[in-house]
Structure 1
Amino acid sequence: MDLTKDLELYIEQNSEDEPEILAQLRRETYQKTTQPHMISGYLQGRILSIISKIINPNLIVEVGTFTGYSTLCLAEGLNKNGKIITIDKNLETSYIPEKYFRQSQFSNLINYKIGEAIEILPNIEDGIDLVFLDADKESYSDYINILLPKLKKGGIVLADNILWKGKVVGDAKDKKTEAIRKFNKMIKLNDSVEVVILPIRDGISIIRKK
């Protein structure tokens, strides 16, 4: 169902509090970026945090850092000796995540890489516990083909924007919509994983490697 503002507020009031550093980061994202809606935000951020805490990963890989909100949420669940590798190609906004990563308690656990994910991902070691995909939709299928062999058995991939504003069930023929449809179908037909799509915000797939 569509959430009203009152219902969204009720959910926030009855869910885990957002850490103050994330509230500050969210405000700065809306003040200083041209597409602040790209931030994970409160509800999705708390979901990323609690999934990460359940897994307690040693290695997280995030494709699509933006201003670093989701990175810090995912880092909350890291094993004390773990690390998160987060990748983004946008130099223009990189000063924001760099600032908040330095301020956070997870500064020593975050490896922030600026560049093309398709070139960086093949060099990441095997044994990934958790992946968060939130980058260019046209490359989702390419990213997952690189990452799945590196994912541990029982490892989890979270893929964002998987319903793409509802256009996946319409007649839209644009490249991004077609890419998301292709990705969803490919995952569904892949016998090495199991998947469920949650209708949260723009849709999140939870993909588990068998």
Structure 2
Amino acid sequence: MDIIDDEIQQYAEKHTSQESELLKHINRETHAKVMRPRMLSGHLQGRLLSMISHMVKPKCILEIGTYTGYSALCLAEGLQPGGKLITLDVNEELEGTVRAYIAKAGLTERIDYRIGNALQIIPTLKEKFDIVFIDADKENYARYFDLVIDSVTLGGIILADNVLWSGKVLDEKPDKDTRAILDFNKKVDGDPRVENVLLPVRDGITMMRKIRQ
């Protein structure tokens, strides 16, 4: 199910700042060669991620779910001088491709790309994060939130992708992944440590601002 009409999507992209040539290349290559290309953030959401990052001016970003690296490169655009982005993924098959994109962007020293189980890696991280982007397996969204919330700076931003799940959040009999998204959305909405807004951009993205410890 497409949430947004294709023509509206195209109009929005037409009136949005353009992707870099490298991002356009990643977009094309992902759709041509990688399974499940809908997982890519894409032009419109990518520019939104970039704008949020520029507004926050983060020293440190955590991304949970790298895929082909498109969103990591977008988020990295707003990093402060000397800042870094840590991005986690379990897909070893894409590692070479992603590292090549990061190198082509000139960000090898600023993007710490790790392959492994995020549930195991996150507790080992000592950094404080100004932005966290959750875009991995849906059944663990709530666990990722619980793992990162204490490491987010006061006033920091947590973003969660696919929170409308192709409109399945409205299904009367939700499947397992949809139920996980529904539970996550309810959890976030009831957590006093954050204020939140669910944006119907692409497949839905929730923005949370940490307002108390």
Q: Is the pair's TM-score, using the shorter chain for normalization, greater than 0.5?
A: yes
* Residues 179-190 of structure 1 mapped to structure 2, 5 A cutoff: 179-190=180-191
Name the TM-score, length of structure 1 as normaliser. 0.96
Deviates more, 1:50-59 or 1:11-20: 11-20
Contact 1:66–1:94 under 8 Å retained in 2: no
Q: CA deviation at 1:5?
A: 3.6
Query: Residue by residue, what CA displacement relative to the aligned partner does 1:38-80 show, whole Å, maximum 9, x if unpaired?
Result: 1000000000000000001000000000000000000000001
- Give the letter aligned to residue 150 of structure 2: P
Hey, what does 2:79 align to over in structure 1?
78
- Tell me how far apart the structure 2 counterparts of residues 188 and 145 of structure 1 sit (CA, whole Å): 14
Name the TM-score, length of structure 2 as normaliser. 0.95
Q: CA deviation at 1:11?
A: 2.0
Contact 1:59–1:129 under 8 Å retained in 2: yes
Q: CA deviation at 1:2?
A: 5.5
Q: Tell me whether 1:65 sits opposite 2:69 in the alignment.
A: no
Contact 1:49–1:75 under 8 Å retained in 2: yes
Hey, what does 1:55 align to over in structure 2?
56
For structure 2, which runs of at least 5 residues remain unmatched after alignment? Answer: none
- Tell me how far apart the structure 1 counterparts of residues 97 and 137 of structure 2 sit (CA, whole Å): 20
- Tell me how far apart the structure 2 counterparts of residues 203 and 191 of structure 1 sit (CA, whole Å): 22
- Give the letter aligned to residue 87 of structure 1: L
SS in 2 for 1:92: helix
- Tell me how far apart the structure 1 counterparts of residues 110 and 207 of structure 2 sit (CA, whole Å): 24
* Residues 17-166 of structure 1 mapped to structure 2, 5 A cutoff: 17-166=18-167
Hey, what does 1:172 align to over in structure 2?
173
SS in 1 for 2:158: strand
SS in 1 for 2:206: strand
Contact 2:86–2:112 under 8 Å retained in 1: yes
Compute the RMSD of aligned alpha carbons.
Answer: 1.4
The count of aligned residue pairs is: 210
